[in-house]
């Protein structure tokens, strides 16, 4: 890796100061995307601002109709949280299926959300559950937060502080992992919420998206048999050595059915 | 020999250090003043290197030197050799293109070494490597084997990018067999390219001693003596007396670490140039680009049969990819380690195989676990299944009908080998029992009720291990004999140091050789030390690959032990005042037959080093060496059967049962053997459904250049293997052993593909049988219904 300055602030205020004082800073949460990029010399930040020591970014709390998860909460903490398991088991299950134990003990929800890898699990969790992303500057609805691959609504220096998830009536996440990377080739979060059915798809396209055809098919009857095929246009889906667009589109329907079954079980 | 330890599942003593992180690998070895090498690698698959401008790199912090192939050329560094000459169909030797340590003219694959930066720290070397300006003139990348013969020429020495056009067997006899055949089964097969990926990447550390004008090279080598021989005999002017190679703990080899590589050769040169030790440790990205790759065949296979499905003739046509340069043994793998196995366990009377081996702009291809034999077993077992399907015969039955029978041994195959012994039906029957073959239809029905497609498949493989009888492989074109050496050295206190020319990089030799020697000499196992991997300590030896270490190296150890015992008898006879002929040796004790007078091995050893009460004319000391040249290959064989369940909605295949019944002859340590089977199976399963080394056909970039895209097998891809044995001891080595290291990787691909095809109700599915391929075939099969 190239040389860089390293900062480990103890508060958001210190973090903001570190970011403001650097020419080309990068925020580091769990580092599971950033550190490999640094090692491969694919990233050359002037400064790395490591958020791991900021206590105010950690923890899970019950906010009545929602769970609020601090940005620096690890996947393992979410997966093993009694609170999450009892209120939104779909989210605990999603977090427990990310990467491997090493990844889950370092990787964080804030890092995953801010990075917006098009094959990451959390974007589907956020959009599917209708979450709100809290940042150092504002609150952003998940529907408005995630752009195409690696692009988000975040401005330079804006720090994700927490994600709040409304507790759904029913929800489940079904993932078809890439056998090599174990990222999602297709991951589908299906949720029956007070605002209706939400179906969010990760891995298949250039970023997380809602599959409105499947949502519509589930509006009247929330059953696996009711799940229609994906409404995605194959031209908008990824096609690579691991899976063609046609296969991905097919898998969206299969995973949606499995998610509905799991949510109803 | 009293079998106290041989045959016991003793836990590996080397695991104490390996599992606790206390192994000592090349990268763990520190030398004062060491410098770090970083290679400038070609980003082009095929390009003329017009100029290398190192000015900016040389000015960068910490840089000690920047060098290219031209610098090594000035010091008479020559080509890294290919040690096996293949005689073509036209009688000419193969078209040998040189492989210089760093290219002198063109880059021939992405990752080809163009220059090296030597600097104080690794990061400084890497920083400076980015500053080396290379002026490339890009040329057409030759990637697709099917078009390589009409594409841009990669080497001046090889028109049409052809390395050789070779054949084996009797073509006329095969044509006659086809002419009278009732049916000919045909398949076109891809044997996918693999990137082996041992856990420890390659590494080198070179140190020049000006005072003695000598070099030490620590290398992740499977065969340090061979590496020294190549470096001294072919590449450099450094005599063997001035070059010491040390291969310390090595974390997995699988073939990748047999070869002499550019990087270690450059470190060797550079250490003298800069006057300080120079090290290089591959990172995983470099491993993907520049380790030797494996397999990569395109094959058409045709089997002629009579009405009963008896094999009459086999015709094989293979195109093999050798990559951009010839790795040390590359030429031998798609020929003598492949086509000589095309009889398999079957009494096919006529066999003909033609192989065209090509240069392409891809990483060099050479031996990897199985090395040619997996390719042979794969095509044979796939065509056996196809033949059974075509004729409506059970796949078990067609194999049974064609097996070489126990009373036919020794059996001369039509493709140059003589099998000494085997009982293929015994392994088949045991495997069928272990998996409950007759219960399969019920299991298939039960799976169908759960929405799963269950399939069963098998393979009955044979392989050739214990490379190799020197005279035989010399006739095949090998440039070296493949005997093995051992020295058994008693110390004065009665402990034993055993020096072996083999090398362990995960096989557990310190344990198994210890068991062997403890039994042979009747000394405590803990008193036996196994030394390997250092050319200045061990006798000249050929290293470890091709499942040879126990069959050939172990046999050398036994021979040396026999010599120790013979000498011990002379000493004991003198001390016990008896005739040598009256001395019996058993379990560590020399005794006078019919009396209670005896001496222990430790007493004899002490007497040998304090030769006071000693036979006249006998040399002091108890230290014997032996060389063992095998009389034949060994022929492990067996039958593997697996069952899979396919989810037709996703194409995901789960392996639910796997039975491996292997005949390895005598088993020294069942625990270690089972571990070898498991590891081989994992790699074979990887080839069959997960791994695929892919280059972009236009740009020649390695598409699967990391674990994000190249799928290694993991524990959750594998079932709990059920392992069984049959035993026909090898007839021609003193231990009766055959070798077990590669069997799993050979048996697994055809077994798994057979089961998946069976589940789908199709003739064949190409490797790797990814979930998408399986899903598509399941969908087509469902549509056809």
Name the 3-class secondary structure at B516.
helix
User: Which residues in chain B are contacts of A1 at CB distance < 8 A?
Assistant: 123
- Considering the domain architecture, whether residues A237 and A169 belong to the same structural domain is answered as yes
- Considering the domain architecture, whether residues A19 and A66 belong to the same structural domain is answered as no
- Contacting residues for B2 by C-beta, under 8 A, at least 6 apart: B519, B522, B586, B587
Tokens of A71: 């940005």
Please report the pLDDT score of residue B480 as a whole number.
Answer: 84
Name the 3-class secondary structure at B612.
coil
In this structure, is residue A35 part of a structural domain? yes
In this structure, is residue A201 part of a structural domain? yes
Cis peptide before B468 (omega within 30 of 0): yes
Distance from CA of B655 to the nearest CA of A (A): 15
* Chain-chain contact of A180 with B709 (C-beta, under 8 angstroms): yes
* Chain-chain contact of A242 with B717 (C-beta, under 8 angstroms): no
Cis peptide before B410 (omega within 30 of 0): yes
- Considering the domain architecture, whether residues A34 and A63 belong to the same structural domain is answered as no
- Other beta carbons within 10 angstroms of residue B287's beta carbon come to 20
Distance from CA of B136 to the nearest CA of A (A): 22
Residue B129 binned pLDDT confidence (cut-offs 50, 70, 90): very high
* Closest C-alpha among B499, B485, B506, B504 to residue B544: B504
In this structure, is residue A10 part of a structural domain? yes
Tokens of B265: 């050769």
By Cβ distance, the residue of A176, A179, A181 closest to B690 is A179
CATH number, domain of A201, equals 3.30.465.10
- pLDDT by residue (tens digit) across A161-205? 999 999 999 999 999 999 999 999 999 999 999 889 999 999 999
Nearest residue in A to B707, CA atom: A180
Among B residues 646-705, those touching chain A with beta carbons less than 8 Å apart: 649-650, 690, 692, 694, 703-704
- pLDDT by residue (tens digit) across A123-153? 999 999 999 999 999 999 999 999 999 999 9
Distance from CA of B93 to the nearest CA of A (A): 39
Q: Give percent of chain B with pLDDT exceeding 70.
A: 100
Query: Is A2 touching B (CB cutoff 8 A)?
Result: yes
Nearest residue in B to A245, CA atom: B772
Nearest residue in A to B703, CA atom: A241
By Cβ distance, the residue of B126, B649, B711 closest to A180 is B711
* Closest C-alpha among A173, A197, A198 to residue A187: A173
Total count of residues recorded for chain B: 785
* Chain-chain contact of B707 with A250 (C-beta, under 8 angstroms): no
Mean pLDDT of B125-136: 98
Distance from CA of B273 to the nearest CA of A (A): 27
- The residue written with tokens 């740009």 in the block is B699
- Considering the domain architecture, whether residues A44 and A156 belong to the same structural domain is answered as no
- Other beta carbons within 10 angstroms of residue B331's beta carbon come to 26
- Considering the domain architecture, whether residues A131 and A190 belong to the same structural domain is answered as yes
- Considering the domain architecture, whether residues A29 and A69 belong to the same structural domain is answered as no
Rounded Cα distance between B658 and B713, Å, is: 16
- Considering the domain architecture, whether residues A217 and A258 belong to the same structural domain is answered as yes
Interface test mutation site (partner B, options A241, A248, A255, A261, max chain B beta carbons within 10 A) = A241
- Considering the domain architecture, whether residues A67 and A158 belong to the same structural domain is answered as yes
* Chain-chain contact of B123 with A3 (C-beta, under 8 angstroms): yes
* Chain-chain contact of B717 with A3 (C-beta, under 8 angstroms): no
Please report the pLDDT score of residue B412 as a whole number.
Answer: 98
Distance from CA of B374 to the nearest CA of A (A): 23
In this structure, is residue A97 part of a structural domain? yes
* Chain-chain contact of A241 with B709 (C-beta, under 8 angstroms): yes
Interface test mutation site (partner A, options B129, B685, B708, max chain A beta carbons within 10 A) = B708
Distance from CA of B39 to the nearest CA of A (A): 14
- Which strand (E) or helix (H) includes residue B227? helix B224-230
Rounded Cα distance between A199 and A227, Å, is: 11
- Considering the domain architecture, whether residues A70 and A196 belong to the same structural domain is answered as yes
User: Which residues in chain B are contacts of A180 at CB distance < 8 A?
Assistant: 690, 707-712
- Which strand (E) or helix (H) includes residue B778? helix B771-784
Please report the pLDDT score of residue B1 as a whole number.
Answer: 41
Among A residues 34-93, those touching chain B with beta carbons less than 8 Å apart: 40-41
Please report the pLDDT score of residue A155 as a whole number.
Answer: 95
Rounded Cα distance between B302 and A45, Å, is: 59
> pTM value?
0.97
Please report the pLDDT score of residue B3 as a whole number.
Answer: 53
CA atoms within 13 A on the CB side of B712: 14
Q: Give percent of chain A with pLDDT exceeding 90.
A: 97
Mean pLDDT of B65-71: 98
* Chain-chain contact of A181 with B771 (C-beta, under 8 angstroms): no
- Kindly list the distances between the CA atom of residue B737 and the CA atoms of A157, A196, B465, B509, B550, in Å, as whole numbers in the listed order: 67, 69, 10, 14, 7
- pLDDT by residue (tens digit) across B500-547? 999 999 999 999 999 999 999 999 999 999 999 999 999 999 999 999
Distance from CA of A258 to the nearest CA of B (A): 11
Contact A244, B772 (CB under 8 A): yes
Q: Write down which residue in A30, A48, A66 finishes a domain.
A: A48
Please report the pLDDT score of residue B448 as a whole number.
Answer: 97
Distance from CA of A3 to the nearest CA of B (A): 9
* Closest C-alpha among B693, B699, B695 to residue B141: B699
Roughly what angle, to the nearest 10 degrees, separates helices B555-575 and B509-521?
30
User: Which residues in chain A are contacts of B776 at CB distance < 8 A?
Assistant: 247
Rounded Cα distance between B669 and B8, Å, is: 5
In this structure, is residue A53 part of a structural domain? no
In this structure, is residue A19 part of a structural domain? yes
- Kindly list the distances between the CA atom of residue A13 and the CA atoms of A53, A158, B26, in Å, as whole numbers in the listed order: 12, 12, 46
Please report the pLDDT score of residue B324 as a whole number.
Answer: 98
CA atoms within 13 A on the CB side of B515: 23
Nearest 10 degrees: Cα torsion B110, B111, B112, B114: 110
User: Which residues in chain B are contacts of A176 at CB distance < 8 A?
Assistant: 650
- Considering the domain architecture, whether residues A65 and A35 belong to the same structural domain is answered as no
* Chain-chain contact of A180 with B712 (C-beta, under 8 angstroms): yes
* Chain-chain contact of A41 with B772 (C-beta, under 8 angstroms): no
* Chain-chain contact of B772 with A243 (C-beta, under 8 angstroms): yes
User: Which residues in chain A are contacts of B193 at CB distance < 8 A?
Assistant: none
* Chain-chain contact of A180 with B694 (C-beta, under 8 angstroms): no
Mean pLDDT of B613-619: 95
User: Which residues in chain B are contacts of A254 at CB distance < 8 A?
Assistant: 649-650
Query: Is A12 touching B (CB cutoff 8 A)?
Result: no
Q: Give chain B's domains with CATH numbers.
A: 31-139+200-251+257-290 (3.90.1170.50), 294-467+632-784 (3.30.365.10), 483-628 (3.30.365.10)
Rounded Cα distance between A242 and A232, Å, is: 19
User: Which residues in chain A are contacts of B703 at CB distance < 8 A?
Assistant: 241
- Considering the domain architecture, whether residues A94 and A223 belong to the same structural domain is answered as yes
Rounded Cα distance between B251 and B284, Å, is: 14
User: Which residues in chain A are contacts of B707 at CB distance < 8 A?
Assistant: 180-181
* Chain-chain contact of B772 with A247 (C-beta, under 8 angstroms): yes
Q: What is the DSSP string of chain A?
A: ----EEE--SSHHHHHHHHHT-SSEEEESS-TTHHHHHHTT----SEEEE-TT-GGG--EEE-SSEEEEETT-BHHHHHH-HHHHHH-HHHHHHHHTSS-HHHHHH-BHHHHHHH--TT-SHHHHHHHHT-EEEESS-EEEHHHHB-STT-BSPPTT--EEEEEEEPPSEEEEEEEE-TTT-SEEEEEEEEEETTEEEEEEESSBSS-EE-HHHHHHTTS--SGGGPPPP---GGGB--SSS--HHHHHHHHHHHHHHHHHHHH-
Q: What is the DSSP string of B467-506?
A: ---HHHHHHHTBSS---EEEEEEE-TTS-EEEEESS--SS
* Closest C-alpha among B653, B636, B683 to residue B773: B653
- pLDDT by residue (tens digit) across B273-323? 999 999 999 999 999 999 999 999 999 999 999 999 999 999 999 999 999
Q: Which domain holds residue A93?
A: 58-264
Among B residues 559-618, those touching chain A with beta carbons less than 8 Å apart: none
- pLDDT by residue (tens digit) across B678-724? 999 999 999 999 999 999 999 999 999 999 999 999 999 999 999 99
Among A residues 226-265, those touching chain B with beta carbons less than 8 Å apart: 241-244, 247, 250-251, 254
In this structure, is residue A80 part of a structural domain? yes
* Chain-chain contact of B708 with A243 (C-beta, under 8 angstroms): no
Name the 3-class secondary structure at B338.
coil
By Cβ distance, the residue of B694, B712, B776 closest to A241 is B694
In this structure, is residue A40 part of a structural domain? yes
Please report the pLDDT score of residue B481 as a whole number.
Answer: 85
Structural domains of chain A, count: 2
Rounded Cα distance between B26 and B221, Å, is: 10
Residue B782 binned pLDDT confidence (cut-offs 50, 70, 90): confident
CATH number, domain of A43, equals 3.30.43.10
Distance from CA of B125 to the nearest CA of A (A): 11
Contact B504, B543 (CB under 8 A): no
- Considering the domain architecture, whether residues A258 and A127 belong to the same structural domain is answered as yes
Nearest residue in A to B122, CA atom: A1
Residue B479 binned pLDDT confidence (cut-offs 50, 70, 90): confident
- pLDDT by residue (tens digit) across B618-659? 999 999 999 999 999 999 999 999 999 999 999 999 999 999
Interface test mutation site (partner A, options B713, B774, B775, max chain A beta carbons within 10 A) = B775
Total count of residues recorded for chain A: 265
């Amino acid at each position: 890796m190239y040389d860089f300055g390293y900062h480990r602030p103890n508060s958001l205020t210190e973090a903001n100061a570190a970011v403001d004082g650097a020419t080309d800073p990068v925020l580091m949460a769990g580092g599971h995307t950033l550190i490999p990029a640094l090692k491969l010399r694919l990233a050359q930040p002037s400064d790395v601002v490591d958020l791991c020591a900021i206590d105010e970014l950690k923890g899970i709390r019950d906010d009545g109709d929602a769970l609020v998860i601090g940005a620096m909460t690890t996947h393992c903490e979410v997966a093993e949280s009694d609170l999450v398991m009892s209120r939104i088991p779909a989210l605990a299950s999603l977090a427990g299926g990310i990467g491997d134990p090493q990844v889950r003990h370092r990787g964080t929800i804030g890092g995953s959300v801010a990075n917006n890898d098009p094959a990451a699990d959390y974007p589907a969790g956020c959009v599917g559950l209708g979450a709100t992303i809290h940042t150092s500057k504002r609150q952003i609805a998940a529907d408005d937060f995630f752009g195409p691959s690696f692009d988000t609504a975040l401005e330079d220096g804006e720090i994700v502080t927490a994600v709040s998830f409304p507790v759904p009536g029913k929800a489940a996440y079904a993932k078809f992992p890439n056998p090599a990377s174990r990222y999602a080739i297709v991951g589908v979060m299906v949720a029956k919420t007070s605002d209706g059915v939400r179906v969010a798809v990760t891995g298949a396209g250039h970023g997380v998206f809602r599959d409105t055809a499947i949502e519509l098919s589930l509006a009247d009857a929330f059953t696996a048999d009711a799940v229609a095929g994906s409404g995605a246009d194959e031209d908008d889906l990824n096609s690579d050595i691991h899976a063609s667009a046609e296969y991905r589109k097919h898998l969206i329907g299969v995973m949606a059915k499995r998610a509905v079954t799991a949510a109803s079980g | 020999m009293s079998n106290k330890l041989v045959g016991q599942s003793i836990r590996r003593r080397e695991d104490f250090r390996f599992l606790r992180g206390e192994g000592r690998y090349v990268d763990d070895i520190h030398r004062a003043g060491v410098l770090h090498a970083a290679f400038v690698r070609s980003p082009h698959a095929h390009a003329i290197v017009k100029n290398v401008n190192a000015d900016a790199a040389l000015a960068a912090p910490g840089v000690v030197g920047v060098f290219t192939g031209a610098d090594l050329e000035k010091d008479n560094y020559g080509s890294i050799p290919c040690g096996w000459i293949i005689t073509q169909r036209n009688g000419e030797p193969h078209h040998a293109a040189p492989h210089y340590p760093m290219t002198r003219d063109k880059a021939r694959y992405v990752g080809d070494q163009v220059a090296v930066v030597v600097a104080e720290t690794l990061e400084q070397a890497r920083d400076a490597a980015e500053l080396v300006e290379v002026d490339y003139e890009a040329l057409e990348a030759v990637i697709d084997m099917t078009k390589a013969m009409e594409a841009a020429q990669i080497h001046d020495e090889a028109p049409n990018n052809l390395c050789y056009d070779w054949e084996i067997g009797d073509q006329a006899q095969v044509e006659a067999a086809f002419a009278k055949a009732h049916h000919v089964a045909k398949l076109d097969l891809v044997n996918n390219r693999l990137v082996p990926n041992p856990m420890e990447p390659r590494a080198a550390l070179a140190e020049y001693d000006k005072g003695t004008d000598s070099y030490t090279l620590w290398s992740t080598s499977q065969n340090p003596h061979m590496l020294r021989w190549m470096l001294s005999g072919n590449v450099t002017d450094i005599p063997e007396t001035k070059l010491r190679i040390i291969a310390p703990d090595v974390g997995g080899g699988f073939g990748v670490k047999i070869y002499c590589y550019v990087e270690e050769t450059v470190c060797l040169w550079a250490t003298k140039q800069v006057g300080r030790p120079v090290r290089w440790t591959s990172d995983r990205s470099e491993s993907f680009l520049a380790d030797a790759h494996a397999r990569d065949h395109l094959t058409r296979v045709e089997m002629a049969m009579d009405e009963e499905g008896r094999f009459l003739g086999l015709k094989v046509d293979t195109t093999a990819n050798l990559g951009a340069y010839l790795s040390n043994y590359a030429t031998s793998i798609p020929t003598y380690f492949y086509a000589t196995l095309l009889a398999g366990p079957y009494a096919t009377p006529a066999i003909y195989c033609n192989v065209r081996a090509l240069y392409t702009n891809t990483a060099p291809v050479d031996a990897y676990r199985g090395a040619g034999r997996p390719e042979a077993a794969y095509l044979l077992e796939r065509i056996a299944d196809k033949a059974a399907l075509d004729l409506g015969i059970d796949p078990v039955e067609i194999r049974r009908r064609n097996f070489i029978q126990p009373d036919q041994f020794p059996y001369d195959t039509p493709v140059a080998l003589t099998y000494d012994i085997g009982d293929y039906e015994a392994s088949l029957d045991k495997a069928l029992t272990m998996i409950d073959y007759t219960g399969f239809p019920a299991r298939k029905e039960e799976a169908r009720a759960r929405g799963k497609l269950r399939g069963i498949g098998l393979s009955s493989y044979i392989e050739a291990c214990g490379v190799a009888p020197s005279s035989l492989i010399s006739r095949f074109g090998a440039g070296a004999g493949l005997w093995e050496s051992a020295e058994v050295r008693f110390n004065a206190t009665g402990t034993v140091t055993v020096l072996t020319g083999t090398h362990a990089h995960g096989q557990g030799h310190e344990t198994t050789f210890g068991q062997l020697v403890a039994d042979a000499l009747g000394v405590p196992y803990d008193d036996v030390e196994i030394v390997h991997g250092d050319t200045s300590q061990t006798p000249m030896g050929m290293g470890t690959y091709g499942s040879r270490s126990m069959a050939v190296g172990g046999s050398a150890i036994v021979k040396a032990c026999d010599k120790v015992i013979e000498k011990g008898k002379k000493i004991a006879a003198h001390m016990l005042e008896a005739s040598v002929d009256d001395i019996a040796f058993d379990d560590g004790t020399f005794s006078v037959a019919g009396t209670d007078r005896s001496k222990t091995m430790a007493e004899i050893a002490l007497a040998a080093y304090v030769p006071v009460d000693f036979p006249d004319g006998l040399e002091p000391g108890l230290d014997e060496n032996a060389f063992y040249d095998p009389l034949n290959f060994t022929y492990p064989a067996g039958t593997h059967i697996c069952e899979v369940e396919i989810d037709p909605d996703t194409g995901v295949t789960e392996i639910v049962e796997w039975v491996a019944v292997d005949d390895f002859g005598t088993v020294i340590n069942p625990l270690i053997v089972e571990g070898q089977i498991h590891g081989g199976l994992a790699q074979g399963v990887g080839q069959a459904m997960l791994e695929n080394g892919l280059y972009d056909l236009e740009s020649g970039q390695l598409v699967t250049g990391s674990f994000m895209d190249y799928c290694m097998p993991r524990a959750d891809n594998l079932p709990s293997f059920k392992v069984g044995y049959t035993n026909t001891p090898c007839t021609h080595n003193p231990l009766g052993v055959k070798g077990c290291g590669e069997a799993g990787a050979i048996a697994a691909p055809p077994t798994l593909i057979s089961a998946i095809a069976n589940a789908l109700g199709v003739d064949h599915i190409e490797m790797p049988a990814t979930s998408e391929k399986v899903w598509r075939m399941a969908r087509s099969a469902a549509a056809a219904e």
